[in-house]
Amino acid sequence: MNNFFLILGHSYMSKLKAKSFIISTVIIAAALVLLANFDSVISSFTGDEQEKVAVLDETGKLYNPLVQQLDIMNSEIQLEQATQSMEKIEKEIETEELKGLLVLSVNSDGLPKALYKSNSLSESTVTGELQIALQNVKSSQAASKLELSGEELTLLSGPVEFEKEALVEGAKSEEELSQARGIVYVLLFFIYFSVIAYANMTAMEVATEKSSRVMEILISSVSPVKQMFAKIIGIGLAGLTQLAVILGVGYFTMIRKKDELVGGFFDGFGFESLSISVIIYSIVFFLLGYFLYATLAALLGSLVSRIEDVQQMIMPMTFLIMIGFFISMFGLGNPESGFVTVTSYIPFFTPMVMFLRVGMLNLPAYEPLIGIVLLLVTIILLGVFGARVYRGGVLLYGKSNSYKDIKKAIDLTSKK
């Protein structure tokens, strides 16, 4: 047992000290800080400069109404009437003194139309705001032609009242579903990337030791099965340490910027109403998903003799994780789909798909419990099978990139 903890500690500490591990942790933590301060960073580059657009109003009647509409919209676009020649205006656009030129005229019905000229058409924000403002001017003028009052125009263009009511008691409201969808979306990415990264790390660790012949020394003093589970747990602990650092940085950054994020990021992704149960389920399904795929990764990693063959060997496992993720993405829009319900009980998809359903629906307690039990049973069975393959696989050398080597590894284990 002492040897088990020795290998576990070595796997854990070697990962913590690895440059790639430290660099990736710093980069992700820095990305979270940057995300929380994104508006400040953007404003530091742009400053308080307004987008200046010259307006050539051929009608003489559209400029002022357009300015008023942009003021109502709180737009940062600054309009100025064109007084120079067209040639001079185009030169100012080329030198970026002006963002563009808006030419206003009327169509055959006497309603506004426009032509926008600029160096590039990629600035969709400016053209989008100008189009909306001009659309409002057009609606106002059309209403005048039809002799409609302002109240009648508002009544005509206002949205229809459309309420939704769930018949099932305790069902989430539309607002609650929208918030749940946001937080589940974020946590699904967290589970997906974490599981795939740490499972790959496990396979790479096993293959590295085997290719360097360190494995031959280790199996003389520690059984291969103890090695396998010590590595899985050790790398899992390293992963949890990394996630704790990242989440800690993210938490304190968000708390510090909470007042600025309320009404935007926090509300949009549902962080204001984040429940403890969702956090607990995300941790449970992350851990179970990791142990499931890490056990499979260790099994497959033990079959290869060269590090170059690892990615090819674990590719089907990667596809399984991706399929589960894509099903979850589909389920965000239709979590009650029969397809989503059925696949949530397939162990290789359960960590993400069942978590999706738990996060978005009010499920009876037995449904996620069944998924967790199925996952545990699958992990145990895969662990027993993986131990047999691992015990023989670490002794297989030569060209090993075929799944036929699983049978060879089992036969080698039986002979021992």
Q: Is 104 helix (H, G, I), strand (E, B) or coil?
A: strand
Long-range contacts for 31-40 (Cβ within 8 Å, ≥24 apart)? 32/246, 32/249, 32/250, 32/253, 33/249, 33/253, 36/250, 36/253, 36/254, 36/256, 36/257, 36/261, 36/265, 37/253, 37/257, 39/260
How many angstroms separate the most distant Cα atoms in the chain?
95
Q: What is the DSSP string of 329-385?
A: HHHTT-TT-HHHHHHTTSTTTHHHHHHHHHHHS---THHHHHHHHHHHHHHHHHHHH
Give pLDDT tens digits for 287-310.
Answer: 898 888 888 888 887 777 677 777
For residue 272, the 8-state DSSP code is G
Cβ contact 39:63 at 8 Å:
no
> Closest Cα to residue 370, out of 383, 387, 357, 382?
357
CA 377 – CA 167 distance, rounded (Å) = 36
Q: Which residues pair with 390 in a beta bridge?
A: none
CA 254 – CA 35 distance, rounded (Å) = 10
Task: For tokens 């051929």, name the residue.
Answer: 58
Write the CB contacts of 249 (distance below 8 Å, at least 6 apart in sequence): 29, 32, 33
For residue 344, the 8-state DSSP code is T
Going by pLDDT thresholds of 50, 70 and 90, the confidence category of residue 348 is: very high
Task: For tokens 């397939």, name the residue.
Answer: 346
- Average pLDDT score over residue span 201-230: 69
Instruction: Determine which of 159-168, 300-309, 345-354 has the lowest per-residue pLDDT on average.
Output: 159-168
Write the CB contacts of 342 (distance below 8 Å, at least 6 apart in sequence): none
**Percent of all residues in the chain with a pLDDT value above 70, rounded to a whole number:** 72
Cβ contact 237:347 at 8 Å:
no
- Average pLDDT score over residue span 196-205: 82
In this structure, what token pair is assigned to residue 402?
A: 């075929």
- If you average pLDDT over each of 146-150, 223-227, 340-344, 382-386, which comes out highest? 340-344
Q: Phi and psi for 113 in degrees, rounded to 5? A: -140, 165
Going by pLDDT thresholds of 50, 70 and 90, the confidence category of residue 45 is: low
Q: Which residues pair with 114 in a beta bridge?
A: 104
CA 273 – CA 216 distance, rounded (Å) = 53
- How is the chain split into domains, by residue range? 48-157, 172-415
In this predicted structure, the answer to whether residue 216 has a pLDDT above a threshold of 70 is no
- Average pLDDT score over residue span 325-331: 89
In this predicted structure, the answer to whether residue 104 has a pLDDT above a threshold of 80 is yes
Q: Encode 144-187 in three state secondary structure.
A: HHCCCCHHHHHHHHCCCCCCCCCCCCCCCCHHHHHHHHHHHHHH
Question: For the chain, how many residues are written?
Answer: 416
In this structure, what token pair is assigned to residue 388?
A: 């047999």
Going by pLDDT thresholds of 50, 70 and 90, the confidence category of residue 91 is: confident
In this predicted structure, the answer to whether residue 95 has a pLDDT above a threshold of 70 is yes
Which is more confident, 271 or 258? Answer: 258
AA identity, residue 248 = G
Which class is 48-157 in CATH?
Answer: alpha beta
Going by pLDDT thresholds of 50, 70 and 90, the confidence category of residue 157 is: low
CA 232 – CA 212 distance, rounded (Å) = 19
Sheet holding 77-81, edge to edge: 77-81, 51-57, 100-106, 112-117
